[in-house]
Protein backbone atom coordinates (compact mmCIF):
# COMPACT_ATOMS: atom_id res chain seq x y z
CA UNK A 1 0.00 0.00 0.00
CA UNK A 2 1.32 3.46 -0.90
CA UNK A 3 0.83 6.47 1.37
CA UNK A 4 0.25 9.93 -0.07
CA UNK A 5 2.55 12.61 1.28
CA UNK A 6 0.48 15.78 1.93
CA UNK A 7 3.29 18.32 1.96
CA UNK A 8 1.09 21.01 0.40
CA UNK A 9 -1.64 20.60 3.00
CA UNK A 10 0.92 20.67 5.81
CA UNK A 11 2.40 23.89 4.41
CA UNK A 12 -1.05 25.50 4.31
CA UNK A 13 -1.72 24.54 7.94
CA UNK A 14 1.65 25.94 9.05
CA UNK A 15 0.97 29.15 7.14
CA UNK A 16 -2.44 29.56 8.82
CA UNK A 17 -0.92 28.98 12.26
CA UNK A 18 1.82 31.54 11.56
CA UNK A 19 -0.74 34.14 10.44
CA UNK A 20 -2.88 33.52 13.55
CA UNK A 21 0.15 33.90 15.85
CA UNK A 22 1.16 37.13 14.09
CA UNK A 23 -2.35 38.57 14.42
CA UNK A 24 -2.44 37.64 18.12
CA UNK A 25 0.92 39.38 18.58
CA UNK A 26 -0.37 42.53 16.87
CA UNK A 27 -3.49 42.51 19.05
CA UNK A 28 -1.38 42.23 22.22
CA UNK A 29 0.90 45.08 21.18
CA UNK A 30 -2.10 47.26 20.29
CA UNK A 31 -3.66 46.60 23.69
CA UNK A 32 -0.48 47.60 25.52
CA UNK A 33 -0.24 50.77 23.45
CA UNK A 34 -3.85 51.66 24.21
CA UNK A 35 -3.30 51.11 27.93
CA UNK A 36 -0.14 53.21 27.88
CA UNK A 37 -1.91 55.98 25.98
CA UNK A 38 -4.83 55.98 28.42
CA UNK A 39 -2.43 56.21 31.35
CA UNK A 40 -0.68 59.15 29.71
CA UNK A 41 -3.99 60.91 29.09
CA UNK A 42 -5.20 60.35 32.65
CA UNK A 43 -1.94 61.69 34.08
CA UNK A 44 -2.06 64.76 31.87
CA UNK A 45 -5.51 65.56 33.24
CA UNK A 46 -4.38 65.55 36.87
CA UNK A 47 -4.58 69.06 38.37
CA UNK A 48 -1.35 70.94 38.96
CA UNK A 49 -2.94 72.23 42.15
CA UNK A 50 -6.18 71.87 44.12
CA UNK A 51 -7.14 74.93 46.19
CA UNK A 52 -10.23 76.41 47.80
CA UNK A 53 -12.12 79.33 46.29
CA UNK A 54 -10.79 82.77 47.23
CA UNK A 55 -7.19 81.51 47.46
CA UNK A 56 -4.00 82.32 45.57
CA UNK A 57 -1.16 80.12 44.31
CA UNK A 58 2.47 80.97 44.98
CA UNK A 59 4.58 80.15 41.93
CA UNK A 60 7.74 81.78 43.30
CA UNK A 61 9.85 84.48 41.71
CA UNK A 62 8.97 84.85 38.04
CA UNK A 63 10.80 86.85 35.38
CA UNK A 64 9.00 89.78 33.78
CA UNK A 65 9.36 88.09 30.38
CA UNK A 66 6.93 85.35 31.47
CA UNK A 67 3.33 85.48 30.27
CA UNK A 68 0.30 83.79 31.81
CA UNK A 69 -3.21 83.20 30.53
CA UNK A 70 -5.91 82.07 32.97
CA UNK A 71 -9.13 80.65 31.55
CA UNK A 72 -12.32 79.28 33.08
CA UNK A 73 -14.67 78.81 30.14
CA UNK A 74 -17.69 77.83 32.25
CA UNK A 75 -17.53 81.00 34.34
CA UNK A 76 -16.45 83.15 31.37
CA UNK A 77 -13.19 84.09 33.12
CA UNK A 78 -10.18 85.19 31.08
CA UNK A 79 -7.07 86.97 32.33
CA UNK A 80 -3.67 87.86 30.86
CA UNK A 81 -0.84 88.33 33.34
CA UNK A 82 2.92 88.76 33.27
CA UNK A 83 5.76 87.90 35.62
CA UNK A 84 4.95 87.85 39.33
CA UNK A 85 1.35 89.00 38.77
CA UNK A 86 0.33 85.33 38.82
CA UNK A 87 1.17 85.19 42.55
CA UNK A 88 -1.40 87.90 43.31
CA UNK A 89 -4.24 86.38 41.27
CA UNK A 90 -7.19 85.27 43.41
CA UNK A 91 -9.27 82.33 42.18
CA UNK A 92 -12.63 83.67 43.35
CA UNK A 93 -15.01 81.14 41.84
CA UNK A 94 -14.97 77.33 42.12
CA UNK A 95 -14.34 75.34 38.96
CA UNK A 96 -11.63 74.16 36.59
CA UNK A 97 -9.07 76.70 35.42
CA UNK A 98 -6.52 76.29 32.65
CA UNK A 99 -3.27 78.21 33.04
CA UNK A 100 -1.05 78.73 29.99
CA UNK A 101 2.59 79.67 30.54
CA UNK A 102 5.18 81.04 28.13
CA UNK A 103 8.44 82.95 28.42
CA UNK A 104 9.77 85.28 25.75
CA UNK A 105 13.24 85.54 27.27
CA UNK A 106 16.10 85.17 24.80
CA UNK A 107 18.59 82.48 25.83
CA UNK A 108 22.24 82.12 24.88
CA UNK A 109 24.01 78.81 24.38
CA UNK A 110 25.40 78.76 27.93
CA UNK A 111 22.05 79.22 29.66
CA UNK A 112 19.59 76.47 30.50
CA UNK A 113 16.52 76.99 28.33
CA UNK A 114 14.19 74.47 29.96
CA UNK A 115 10.79 76.05 30.71
CA UNK A 116 10.15 76.88 34.36
CA UNK A 117 6.59 75.48 34.19
CA UNK A 118 4.53 73.34 31.86
CA UNK A 119 2.87 75.14 28.97
CA UNK A 120 -0.60 74.06 30.14
CA UNK A 121 -1.61 73.51 33.77
CA UNK A 122 -4.96 72.66 35.31
CA UNK A 123 -6.01 74.18 38.62
CA UNK A 124 -9.06 72.80 40.41
CA UNK A 125 -10.76 75.33 42.67
CA UNK A 126 -12.95 73.67 45.27
CA UNK A 127 -16.19 75.13 46.60
CA UNK A 128 -15.29 73.97 50.14
CA UNK A 129 -12.80 75.47 52.60
CA UNK A 130 -11.69 73.34 55.53
CA UNK A 131 -9.41 74.80 58.21
CA UNK A 132 -8.03 72.78 61.11
CA UNK A 133 -8.03 74.84 64.34
CA UNK A 134 -4.81 73.61 65.93
CA UNK A 135 -5.11 76.15 68.75
CA UNK A 136 -7.83 73.90 70.19
CA UNK A 137 -6.35 70.48 69.46
CA UNK A 138 -6.57 68.02 72.37
CA UNK A 139 -4.66 64.84 73.27
CA UNK A 140 -6.37 62.40 75.62
CA UNK A 141 -2.97 61.54 77.13
CA UNK A 142 0.60 62.75 76.88
CA UNK A 143 2.82 61.02 74.33
CA UNK A 144 5.89 59.51 75.97
CA UNK A 145 8.98 57.89 74.48
CA UNK A 146 9.07 54.10 74.61
CA UNK A 147 5.37 53.88 75.39
CA UNK A 148 2.76 52.47 73.00
CA UNK A 149 0.29 55.16 71.85
CA UNK A 150 -2.69 52.90 71.12
CA UNK A 151 -4.76 54.37 73.99
CA UNK A 152 -4.20 58.01 72.96
CA UNK A 153 -6.81 59.97 71.00
CA UNK A 154 -6.56 63.33 69.24
CA UNK A 155 -9.56 65.64 68.82
CA UNK A 156 -9.31 68.68 66.57
CA UNK A 157 -12.03 71.10 65.43
CA UNK A 158 -12.32 71.98 61.75
CA UNK A 159 -14.08 75.02 60.39
CA UNK A 160 -15.94 74.29 57.13
CA UNK A 161 -17.09 77.06 54.79
CA UNK A 162 -19.02 75.99 51.70
CA UNK A 163 -19.77 78.20 48.71
CA UNK A 164 -22.85 76.09 48.08
CA UNK A 165 -24.43 74.72 51.25
CA UNK A 166 -24.60 71.13 50.02
CA UNK A 167 -23.61 68.38 52.52
CA UNK A 168 -20.61 66.49 51.12
CA UNK A 169 -18.98 63.18 52.06
CA UNK A 170 -15.43 63.34 53.40
CA UNK A 171 -13.37 60.15 53.51
CA UNK A 172 -10.90 61.15 56.23
CA UNK A 173 -7.25 60.22 55.50
CA UNK A 174 -4.78 59.04 58.12
CA UNK A 175 -2.53 61.58 59.82
CA UNK A 176 1.18 61.05 59.18
CA UNK A 177 3.48 61.87 62.10
CA UNK A 178 7.08 62.95 61.50
CA UNK A 179 9.88 63.12 64.04
CA UNK A 180 13.23 61.50 64.81
CA UNK A 181 12.57 57.92 65.92
CA UNK A 182 8.80 58.29 65.52
CA UNK A 183 6.76 55.33 64.33
CA UNK A 184 3.39 56.91 65.10
CA UNK A 185 0.35 57.15 62.86
CA UNK A 186 -3.13 58.52 63.60
CA UNK A 187 -6.24 56.95 62.08
CA UNK A 188 -9.73 58.50 62.10
CA UNK A 189 -12.12 56.92 64.56
CA UNK A 190 -14.92 57.48 62.03
CA UNK A 191 -13.64 56.94 58.49
CA UNK A 192 -16.33 58.87 56.60
CA UNK A 193 -18.39 61.88 57.66
CA UNK A 194 -20.74 64.37 56.05
CA UNK A 195 -19.27 67.86 56.14
CA UNK A 196 -21.45 70.94 56.29
CA UNK A 197 -21.06 74.62 57.09
CA UNK A 198 -19.73 75.32 60.54
CA UNK A 199 -17.40 73.69 63.06
CA UNK A 200 -17.05 69.93 63.27
CA UNK A 201 -14.77 67.80 65.43
CA UNK A 202 -12.54 65.09 63.99
CA UNK A 203 -11.22 62.35 66.27
CA UNK A 204 -8.17 60.19 65.57
CA UNK A 205 -6.61 57.24 67.41
CA UNK A 206 -2.84 56.98 67.61
CA UNK A 207 -0.85 53.80 67.16
CA UNK A 208 2.85 53.06 67.25
CA UNK A 209 5.57 54.54 69.41
CA UNK A 210 8.03 57.42 69.75
CA UNK A 211 11.43 55.82 70.30
CA UNK A 212 13.52 58.95 70.84
CA UNK A 213 13.16 62.40 72.31
CA UNK A 214 11.99 64.63 69.49
CA UNK A 215 9.57 67.28 68.33
CA UNK A 216 6.67 65.83 66.34
CA UNK A 217 4.81 67.18 63.33
CA UNK A 218 1.32 65.95 62.47
CA UNK A 219 0.20 66.21 58.83
CA UNK A 220 -3.59 66.46 58.63
CA UNK A 221 -5.22 66.20 55.18
CA UNK A 222 -8.31 68.25 54.38
CA UNK A 223 -11.21 67.55 52.02
CA UNK A 224 -9.25 69.05 49.10
CA UNK A 225 -6.36 66.62 49.73
CA UNK A 226 -4.18 69.47 50.99
CA UNK A 227 -1.88 69.01 54.00
CA UNK A 228 -2.22 71.21 57.08
CA UNK A 229 0.62 70.64 59.58
CA UNK A 230 0.43 70.81 63.35
CA UNK A 231 3.78 71.28 65.12
CA UNK A 232 3.60 69.82 68.62
CA UNK A 233 5.06 72.56 70.88
CA UNK A 234 6.57 70.21 73.48
CA UNK A 235 9.42 67.80 72.94
CA UNK A 236 8.40 64.17 73.41
CA UNK A 237 10.43 62.54 76.21
Highest mean pLDDT among 9-18, 36-45, 152-161: 152-161
Q: What is the pLDDT of residue 14?
A: 56
- Is residue 25 scored above 70 in pLDDT? no
Beta bridge partners of residue 70, listed in sequence order:
79, 99
- Judged by average pLDDT, the poorest of 51-60, 97-106, 142-151 is 97-106
pLDDT 10s digits, 147-192: 999 999 999 999 999 988 888 999 999 999 999 989 999 999 999 9
Total domains in the chain come to 2
- Answer with the one of 126, 148, 167 that is the final residue of a domain: 126
Task: Report pLDDT for 3.
Answer: 47
184 and 110 within one domain: no
Whether 30 maps to a domain, the answer reads no
Q: Which domain holds residue 108?
A: 49-126
- CB atoms near residue 170 (< 10 Å): 20
- Both 193 and 121 in one domain: the answer is no
**pLDDT for the residue 76:** 94
Verify that 175 and 133 share a domain, yes or no.
yes
Q: Is the pTM of this model over 0.85?
A: no
Residue 103, pLDDT > 90, answer no
Residues 54 and 121 grouped into a single domain: yes
pLDDT at 106 (0 to 100) = 63
> Of 97, 126, 155, which residue is a domain's last?
126
* Pairing of the two strands 153-162 and 198-207: antiparallel
Q: Phi and psi dihedrals of 35, rounded to 5?
A: -65, -45
10 occurs within a structural domain: no
Mean pLDDT for the stretch of residues 97-107:
83
Is 8 part of a structural domain of the chain?
no
Instruction: Please determine, for residue 108, whether its predicted confidence score (pLDDT) is greater than 50.
Output: yes
- C-beta of residue 173 within 8 angstroms of C-beta of residue 142: no
**Does residue 91 register a pLDDT over 90?**
yes
Among 79, 110, 126, the domain-final residue is 126
Quote the pLDDT of residue 107. Answer: 55
Contacting residues for 61 by C-beta, under 8 A, at least 6 apart: 84
| Alpha-carbon distance values, 178 to 25, 209, 218, 231 (Å) | 49, 12, 7, 10
Amino acid sequence: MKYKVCTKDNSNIELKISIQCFLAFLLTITSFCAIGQNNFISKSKEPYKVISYGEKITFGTIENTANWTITNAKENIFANLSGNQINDYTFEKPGIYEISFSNNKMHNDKECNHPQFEEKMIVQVSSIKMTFDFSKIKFSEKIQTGRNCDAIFITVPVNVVMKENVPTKFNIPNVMVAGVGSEIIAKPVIQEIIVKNGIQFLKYQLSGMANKEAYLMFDFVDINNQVQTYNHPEIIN
